Amino acid sequence: MPNKIIFDHEEIKRRKNTPDLSGKQLLCLGMENIEDENKILHQILAASSDPILITTKDVKIIFANPAWEKLTGYTLEEVRGKNPKLMQSGKTPKSIYKKLWKALLKKQSFSCEEVINKRKDGSTYQIHCSIFPVIIDGEVTHYVQIQYDITKKKRLDKLKSEFLSVVSHELKTPITVLKLFTQSKLATSQKTNTATLTTKELDLFNREFTRLTNLINDMLDNARIETGKMRMRFEPFNLTELTQETIEKISVIAKNYTFVFEETQSCIVCADKQRIEQVLLNLLSNAIKYSPKESTIEIRLAKNNSHVVISIKDEGVGIPKKERKTIFDKFYQVRRQDGFGLGLYISKEIIKRHKGKIWVEAKSEKGSAFFFTLPLVHSQQLKI
């Protein structure tokens, strides 16, 4: 019976030393005909959602499955016969390649998470890479590479650790200010036996407490989203009124800005009123935070048949094109200024729970416009 080249990836991945497959059937499909069996195995490789690349022992590509083509942007035809080096980005530590070849030359498999490759379009991506030699009659005949794209995971890990350092800084600063302030007031009042606070002092207290409360609320909301416990209380209300009230609230603390609200006729939505107010407050406070004083913030409600589109437009710093999608990711910040990148993420989650959409249209340096939609409720749908 002829030897069969059979790739049992999971089994091989589990072992440090690559087994010699000669004469063994790790995977028995019970076929009489070796060609039929190879066809089936070929289809399995092709259908795998993990990107797989196979080279000859002198490292020339002979096979790449569609998942690999999708990940890298190359087609098999473009890379056939070439060395996988063409994917190297130059960002992978050289020591990794040394370790890889050390293992492969000993006929052992190798896996690591530090490989950063380059796609056909030049963009880079990080992979968990497993390579193992195929050994027949004691000789290496091929190398098989399985790649898992871990770019997102790595980015999230990085953001998580940045998040922790930001949280400790953001929480510590207001707490320290309040503590020092209270201690000094206490000392004075104990000495003079009086306890008076000026409006300015009270204002400082108020601002720092608000900051602290907002940060804690964002962290709690994040925990609720992660654990699936963010519940919505839907009720019909007039969104025009809520928007007007929210602008009034924010304009008290943002006196240097002009708010222009293009009122439309009443606009009834069935939504969680408190949560929608939270989204409006978040978008309005961002508009203030990232815009120069004396600038104008425009708020609009535009109705179509089924939806209302709410837009908040500022004259601020704008958002670079490549960041416009990622700013809605958890902890993501283009430029740091108070907060820790949770506001837009929480807003996106709230709007998602209302079957709406949220997005941004911005220029790189001048102004951003945030939009979100909510389904409208028509009067006949309301049981009044």
Give the residues lining the site for ligand ADP (CB under 6 A): 282, 286-287, 290, 314, 316-317, 319, 327, 332-335, 339-345, 368
Which residue, 339 or 356, is less far from ligand ADP as judged by CB? 339
Least distance CB 158 / ligand ADP (angstroms): 16
Nearest CB to ligand ADP, comparing residues 118 and 348: 348
Name the residue nearer to ligand ADP (CB basis): 139 or 361. 361
Instruction: Give the C-alpha separation, 46 to 67, whole Å.
Output: 8
Least spacing, CB of residue 356 vs ligand ADP, in Å: 17
Identify which of residues 100 and 334 has a Cβ nearer to ligand ADP in the complex.
Answer: 334
At closest approach, how far in Å is the CB of 346 from ligand ADP?
8
Alpha carbon distance 130, 108 (integer Å): 11
- Residue whose C-alpha is closest to residue 50's, from 75, 67, 69: 67
CB 312 to ligand ADP: min, Å = 8
Q: Which is nearer to ligand ADP, 50 or 329 (CB)?
A: 329
Give the pair of three-digit tokens for residue 225: 């989203």
Shortest reach from residue 244's CB to ligand ADP, in Å: 20
Tell the smallest beta-carbon distance from residue 126 to ligand ADP (Å).
23
Residue whose pair of structure tokens reads 């929608």 in the numeric block: 276
Question: If we measure between CA atoms, which residue out of 10, 11, 20 comes closest to residue 133?
Answer: 20
Give the integer Cα–Cα distance in Å for 251 and 269. 24
Q: Buried (b) or exposed (e) across 321-342, using 16+ Cβ within 10 A?
A: eebbeebbbbbbbbeeeebbbb
Least distance (Å) between residue 215 CB and ligand ADP: 9
- Among residues 125, 173, 169, 210, the alpha carbon closest in space to that of 333 is found at 169
Q: Which is nearer to ligand ADP, 282 or 373 (CB)?
A: 282
CB of 344 to ligand ADP, least distance (A): 3
Measured from the CB atom, the residue of 146 and 358 that comes closer to ligand ADP is 358
- Looking at the Cβ atoms of 136 and 219, the one nearer to ligand ADP is 219
- Chain position whose Cβ is nearest to ligand ADP: 339
